[in-house]
Every structure is written in C-alpha cells, then in structure tokens.
Amino acid sequence: MLEEVEVPYPLVEERRRALLALILVGAAPTLSTLLSYSAGDGAISQTIFVFTKLWLLCVPVIWFLKVDQGALSWSKPEQGGYAMSIGLGIGMSVVMLLAWLLLGDAIDAKLLSDALEPVGLLDPKVYFAATIYWILINSLLEEYVFRWFLVTKSETLVGTGNPAIILSALIFVVHHTVALAIFGFPWWANLISSIAIFIGGAVFSWLYVRYRSVWIPYIAHAICDVAVFGVGAIILF
C-alpha cells in the first residue's frame, strides 16, 4: 500500500498566505478600474484612484515587513541587465508600433476620446502630465507590485521559474483588458492587445526573476510606455 505523505503545515500555511497576498494586491487594480468607471467623473472616481494607488504602495511593504519579516532595500541591480532591458524595451516598442500601423485604423478614436474626456486627458497639457506620471511613477509602482511582490508570492504558490512568471503575467493583464474594454477597443483589438500585454508582463517578470531588481524590468516597461502614450497622442490629437 502507498503511504500517505503529509505536507508540512508551515508550507501549506505559507501558500495560503501567498494566495491571500495575491488576491489582496492583484485584484485591486481591476476592482479600481471597474469602480472608477461606474462612479463616472468627479471626486468619487478620483478618491478611488488615489486610494488604490496608496493600497498598492502600502500593502506589499506592510506585508513584507510584518508577515514575511523582511528587511527593506532599494532593489539595487547587482547582476547587471541594463543592456538586456533596454534591448527588450526597444524591441517590444517596435512591435507595438508596427501593430498599430497595420491595425490602428480599426480603433474607434471617438470611443477612446469619450472614455478619456471625463478625466481631462483630451487636454494636451493634461495628457502630457499624465504621460510623465505613468512613465516615471506608475510604471515603477507596477514593477514594485507585479514583479517584486506578486512574482515572489507566485513563486511561493506555484513554484519558481516559468510557473511564477506566467501567473504574475496573467494577473498583470487582467486590469489592462478591463480598461481597454472600457476605452472602447473592439473585442479582437482587445484580445490582441491583451496577448501583447501578457507577453510584455511575462518579459518583465522574467527580467525580475533573472536579475532580482525592479529597476531592470522598469527600464523596459518605461520604454514601452513611451511608445504606448506616443501612439495614444497620435490617435487623440
């Protein structure tokens, strides 16, 4: 007869905690997108946006310090990776630009404008300020959340390497898919974009796993955001 193998309690508890962390942090951007859209323009939507950003900033570090008993660091790149990150960022940006040149005419610019108008992004100055914020701050926050925190929790839950990379990339793509649907992208364009975002998220996660610093995937992420917001500006203005 086969003997039953008992899983050590600490391992089971660690995985439960990792799952809870993934839910608390990973679901926040999607929930925020849905609630903000439902609230429409105004103070409620802005409050939801600010609260979500504070949640994503604070919960991972509090969890890391209090639950994981970790120590803070600046995630200094000690294994290099700059050239790899820049090369991948430029390569992905070129692919995105080519895809837009081939398929961009199918995007309904009016639907996109209607979705962005309530938050003031049809004003070129506001759009430019938002672009700077997304590239310099939001992209770094996403690397802090989706690569550092969620990749490490995914490693605990499903294992290191490809399983963690795939799970973190899937979590990363969900709120983008929801946002694209809200912005009026047709289903097929949303599907293509979501696949591209998943691949991008997987590349960013791979960079983090390979070099163990959020700064390395951030460089690639920021380069891609320059391309995204550049295309957005062409469509809107």
| 188: in domain | yes
pLDDT higher than threshold 90 for residue 82: yes
| 12: in domain | no
| 64: in domain | no
Q: What is the mean pLDDT of residues 183-205?
A: 87
Structure letter (DSSP) for residue 161: T
Residue 230's domain comprises 74-236
What is the signed CA dihedral for 45, 47, 49, 51, rounded to 10 degrees? -150
| 165: in domain | yes
| 66: in domain | no
| 5: in domain | no
**Total structural domains in the chain?**
1
| 52: in domain | no
* Token pair in block for residue 216: 């390395």
pLDDT higher than threshold 70 for residue 119: no
pTM of the model: 0.87
pLDDT at residue 2, as a whole number: 41
| 128: in domain | yes
Report the alpha-carbon angle 142-145-148, nearest 5.
115
